[in-house]
């Protein structure tokens, strides 16, 4: 096995562990429920970022040259906290804080640099502007870091996303990477029924370098995110995903946008994931 194959295999295994851990956290949330569907749809994306792409140092989360990650779709915490744990930025024991009263890992992230959480998020449409500011700071100081902003496709309904998209191109932020979790669903149902938009054409129209890939294919994600940006403009990766990915009764079923997971459902889901 080549070292490349080994990296891909390791990330695949990491994503598998994350998906199981995400379901465990959703179960632990009890009647609070959790955003399960869109947490599961981003698992491969965050696994590739934290398992093979981003420069992060769990011993020094404040490292100035670290790559920055912004979870603009703040409800994706099941796919975020599990990646932070895999990366060593938070411990697996600390994951028990998920959706606990007064805990530091609520349903949507709270800025906590000691734990590698760059910004508070939750309200949609804010992350890309923050990313533009962080990327500008990196350019101004000639720092060698990239900024990754993960958004939902429903989130791209927000006008502020496009204000930021315009600015990122204008400022030639080649160090900025937007990733769209394109699961084609949003809170009220199918994206095309609620607000049909040709996002690929829109991002191209805004002057970004656009790639459309399978958002659950580790190899595609790794190759695309790892490729050097030879352009002076920012990149957007439209990652085609499935909401609720990995659990048959959740996939494409918007009842799992935010829902309570029972013990029986958890057992059934874990059963499907166990090789």
Strands (E), 92-172: 147-152
At its nearest, how many Å lie between another protein and the CB of residue 124? Answer: 10
Of 50 and 119, CB closest to another protein: 119
Q: Which stretches within 151-233 are classed as H helix?
A: 159-170, 191-195, 199-205, 218-226
Residue 69 has φ and ψ, to the nearest 5°, of -120, 130
How many angstroms separate the CA atoms of 16 and 246, rounded?
A: 9
Of 72 and 209, CB closest to another protein: 72
Q: Are 147 and 68 in contact (CB under 8 A)?
A: yes
At its nearest, how many Å lie between another protein and the CB of residue 98? Answer: 20
Of 129 and 241, CB closest to another protein: 129
Q: How many residues comprise the chain?
A: 275
At its nearest, how many Å lie between another protein and the CB of residue 203? Answer: 16
Longest dimension (CA), the chain: 53
Going by C-beta distance under 8 Å and a sequence separation of 6 or more, which residues neighbour residue 91?
85
At its nearest, how many Å lie between another protein and the CB of residue 168? Answer: 10
Of 39 and 127, CB closest to another protein: 127
Check the CA dihedral 130-80-5-144 and report its sign.
Answer: positive
Of 59 and 140, CB closest to another protein: 140
In the complex, which residues of this chain contact another protein (CB under 8 A)? 111, 118-120, 123, 125-126, 128-138, 140-141, 159-160, 163-164, 166-167, 170
At its nearest, how many Å lie between another protein and the CB of residue 123? Answer: 6
């Amino acid at each position: 096995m080549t070292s490349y194959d080994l990296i891909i295999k390791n990330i695949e295994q990491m994503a598998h562990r994350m998906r199981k851990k995400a379901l465990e956290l959703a179960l632990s949330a009890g009647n609070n429920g959790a955003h399960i569907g869109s947490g599961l749809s981003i698992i491969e994306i965050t696994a590739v970022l934290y398992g093979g792409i981003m420069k992060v140092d769990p011993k020094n989360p404040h490292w100035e040259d670290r790559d920055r990650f912004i979870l603009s779709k703040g409800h994706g915490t099941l796919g975020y906290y599990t990646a932070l744990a895999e990366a060593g930025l938070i411990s697996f024991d600390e994951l028990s804080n998920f959706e606990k009263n007064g805990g530091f890992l609520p349903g949507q992230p709270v800025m906590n640099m000691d734990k590698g959480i760059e910004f508070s998020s939750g309200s949609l449409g804010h992350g890309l502007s923050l990313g533009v500011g962080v990327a500008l700071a990196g350019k101004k100081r000639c720092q060698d870091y990239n900024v990754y902003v993960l958004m939902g496709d429903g989130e791209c309904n927000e006008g502020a996303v496009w204000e930021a998209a315009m600015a990122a191109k204008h400022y030639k932020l080649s160090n900025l990477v937007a990733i769209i979790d394109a699961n084609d669903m949003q809170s009220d149902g199918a994206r095309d029924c609620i607000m049909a938009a040709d996002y690929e054409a829109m991002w191209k129209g805004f002057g970004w370098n656009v790639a459309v890939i399978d958002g659950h294919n580790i190899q595609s994600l790794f190759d695309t995110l790892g490729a050097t940006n030879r352009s002076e403009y920012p990149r957007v990766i439209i990652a085609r995903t499935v909401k609720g990915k990995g659990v048959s009764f959740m996939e494409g079923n918007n009842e799992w946008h935010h829902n309570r997971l029972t013990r029986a459902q958890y057992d059934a889901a874990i059963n499907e994931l166990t090789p």
